[in-house]
Amino acid sequence: MLGLASLRFAALRSCASATGCGGNTSQLADGGRVSFLVPEVDEVDTAPPENVHKWRMVVAYDGTKFKGWQYQPSPPTIQCFLENALIRITKLDRKKLCLVGAGRTDTGVHAWGQVAHFTTPFAYDCLDSVHSAINGLLPPEIRVREISAARPEFHARTSTKSKIYHYKIYNEAIMDPFHNCYAYHSAYKLNPHAMRQAAKHFVGTHDFTSFANAAHNDRERRPIKKITRFDVTEMGPFLQLEVEGTGFLYRQVRNMVALLLQVGKEALPPDIVPVIIAARDRRELARVALSAPPHGLYLMSVNYDEEILKPPEGSPPISFGRTHQLSKCKLTFY
């Protein structure tokens, strides 16, 4: 495991551009405006010079042991381990790498399709060796599934078209111990039909203030989000909730799941959802539901327009990892 003390800290800055974190004022749904203090962040996100090369990674991780995605040296995070590996391989510091993730998953949240980009002042002719080296330096709970060259205008976070999250619920009287860290256990028999009816109310463009927790390091919050679908699927003892949207507020998915769980227990009717949305007050949700725990949540995929995913001309092939083959045995058999 790499020593965390070897990390070099880049200067922190607050984001103010329209394509980054936003400014310090926000337009509300009722036409009013409100000012925010935009705090400094720990994620290095400076615009790279023109002579650097940008690389896109798809990352999967078991979030059980980590303090979420966003960089902090102790306790360690996913970004911290990735940067540590990249610093060892590239000999660059944090500021030059400019590692940025598409989503800041919380403590204990898992991912199959997190996307991140980083930059280097040099190009690679082949990505397979770099890919293998990165994974060789990472703990087994984190794996880079894919690495490719990216266009200069590609940005893992601001180029996002939509994100898909799964929330897994194990709905039997006794929890399967093999899924204890990867699904929420509900011993109450849930009503999937009622949950589907409630989930339909989330679809569309709404102000999701009622479903957002405050975060001390949050950028300017834009509460208007679009949910394109929210499916409830029965899979044996599991209920899988799948939600796709253009973006999500801090803990929004877990708070929506929490309300659906109450509906599934038949403690609340499905039409409670539009009532809570209309309140635009987090305290209204807190009266009826607690946030769902993180270990059932997965960031499954981050979607982009096809055009921006096309690699620059002359780029090395995308690396999906090397496969190993056993060479022919030359021993004589008797």
The pLDDT of residue 217: 56
Instruction: Name the helix (H) or strand (E) containing 301.
Output: strand 297-303
Of residues 221 and 110, more confidence is placed in 110
Q: At what angle do helices 78-90 and 128-137 cross, to 10 degrees?
A: 130
- At 209, which amino acid appears? T
- At 222, which amino acid appears? R
pLDDT band at 334 (very low <50, low <70, confident <90, very high): low
The chain-wide mean pLDDT, for the chain, equals 86
The pLDDT of residue 9: 31
Largest Cα–Cα distance in the chain?
87
Full DSSP string of 125-170: S-SHHHHHHHHHHS-TTEEEEEEEEE-TT--TTTT--EEEEEEEEE
199: tokens are 């989930």
Are 282 and 274 in contact by the 8 Å Cβ rule? The answer is no
pTM over 0.85: no
Percentage of the chain exceeding pLDDT 70:
81
Cα separation, 223 vs 210, in Å, equals 9
User: To 10 degrees, the CA torsion angle through 305, 298, 290, 237?
Assistant: 120
25: tokens are 């004022």
Are 276 and 202 in contact by the 8 Å Cβ rule? The answer is no
Instruction: Identify the three-state secondary structure at position 68.
Output: coil
Known active-site residue 106: yes
The pLDDT of residue 130: 97
The pLDDT of residue 221: 72
Which of these is catalytic: 30, 42, 93, 106? 106
CA distances in angstroms from 209 to 13, 113, 132, 196, 220, listed in the order given: 26, 26, 42, 22, 13
Mean pLDDT, range 23-29, rounded to an integer:
38
pLDDT beyond 70 at 175? yes
pLDDT beyond 50 at 85? yes
The pLDDT of residue 323: 82
Cα separation, 230 vs 59, in Å, equals 24
pLDDT beyond 70 at 272? yes
Summarize pLDDT for 28-72 with one digit per residue, the tens: 333 444 333 333 345 555 555 568 999 999 999 999 999 999 988
- The residue written with tokens 């001390």 in the block is 216
The pLDDT of residue 257: 98
Cα separation, 66 vs 75, in Å, equals 7
Mean pLDDT, range 69-85, rounded to an integer:
91
pLDDT beyond 50 at 14? no
Of residues 265 and 323, more confidence is placed in 265
28: tokens are 């509300």
Choose among 214, 244, 271, 251: nearest CA to 108.
251
Of residues 107 and 35, more confidence is placed in 107
Phi-psi region of 62 (alpha: psi -120 to 50; beta: other; left: phi over 0): beta
The pLDDT of residue 15: 32
Instruction: Identify the three-state secondary structure at position 268.
Output: coil
193: tokens are 């039909």
The pLDDT of residue 45: 56
Are 114 and 302 in contact by the 8 Å Cβ rule? The answer is yes
Cα separation, 142 vs 146, in Å, equals 12
Cα separation, 280 vs 276, in Å, equals 7
Per DSSP, helices labelled H in the chain are: 78-90, 94-97, 128-137, 192-200, 252-264, 272-279, 282-286, 306-309
Which of these ranges, 33-47, 129-143, 171-185, 292-306, has the smallest mean pLDDT? 33-47
Summarize pLDDT for 276-303 with one digit per residue, the tens: 999 999 999 999 999 999 999 999 999 9
